[in-house]
Amino acid sequence: METAKSMPVLNKAYVSKTRIGVLAVSSMGMAALAITPSYAAIAANFSLSNTSVQMLTSLPNLFMMLAGLLIGKLTATKLNLKTLTLSAVVLVIIGGFLPLAFHTNFIFLLFCSCLVGLGQGACTNLSQVLISQMLPETERQSTMGLTTTFTNLGGIVFIMGGGQLAANSGWVNNYWIYLFSLLILIVVITLVPMHPAATRQPCLEISKTPVNRSSSINTSFIAHFGDSAHYCSTMF
């Protein structure tokens, strides 16, 4: 016998908080572009060509690809998704803040940009994994659509905010825009759950009293065989 029994419905507060946290992670998708407004000033400071300075944003793309490969392997292990996400955001913060203290060597700036690219690539991939693991099916499609919007919004904050800082107080202060990454870290700590709740939809559950199907089949066969034997006996 089957009885209808609903699975626990996810708390609306859980869904809303998790959704905001995941979208905050996706806003890190253009973090490496924050330094682009200072290309000219950096080129002048280090006596470099514009092509050389552009490596600050082109080289991190390689590390974004590397991050995609790493996240694919790490998410297949037992590592916690929130821990991975926090680590990715921290990489962006470290890569963004170090040039504020050490900015006399262009190679070091490249190294920091690569750290940002690694963290950015991890955030981009993890946002998709978080959606599929943390949110119910009814929320996944709409949230995936919003990730592009939040990625662009994050890009606006990084590029325009960084440009404004550089214009007001020099190219080094362009890196202060990575305070935005610190804000994202706080949001992730606060809103993204450590473990995903059950994301299955309400469904039918089999009653705890099992039905012995083999015995019912045998009973039906015996009844049918008995009827046939009785019919044959009446013919003779």
Q: pTM for the complete prediction?
A: 0.78
Per-residue model confidence (pLDDT) at position 200: 45
Neighbours of 50 (CB within 10 A): 10
Q: How many CB atoms lie within 10 A of CB 44?
A: 11
Q: What pLDDT, in 10s, does the model give residues 152-166?
A: 999 999 999 999 999
**72 band by pLDDT with thresholds 50, 70 and 90:** confident
| pLDDT in the model for residue 115 | 96
Please state the domain extents for the chain: 25-191
pLDDT level of residue 198 (50, 70, 90 thresholds): low
Whole-number percent of the chain with pLDDT over 70: 79
Evaluate if residue 220 carries a pLDDT over 50: no
What class has domain 25-191? mainly alpha
Mean pLDDT across the chain: 83
Distance CA 169, CA 114 (A): 25
Query: What is the spatial distance between Cα 84 and Cα 81, in angstroms, rounded to a whole number?
Result: 5
Q: How confident is the model at residue 205 (pLDDT cuts 50, 70, 90)?
A: very low
**Per-residue pLDDT tens over the stretch 24-55:** 999 999 999 999 999 999 999 999 998 899 99
Band (9; pLDDT cuts 50, 70, 90): low
Among the ranges given (3-7, 66-70, 186-190), the one the predictor scored with the smallest mean pLDDT: 3-7
pLDDT at 104 over 60: yes
Give 6's pLDDT tier (boundaries 50, 70, 90).
very low
Under DSSP, is residue 221 helix (H, G, I), strand (E, B) or coil? helix
DSSP for residue 28: T
- Residue 2: pLDDT band by 50, 70, 90 thresholds? very low
> CA 113 to CA 56: how far, in whole Å?
6
Q: What pLDDT is recorded for position 10?
A: 62
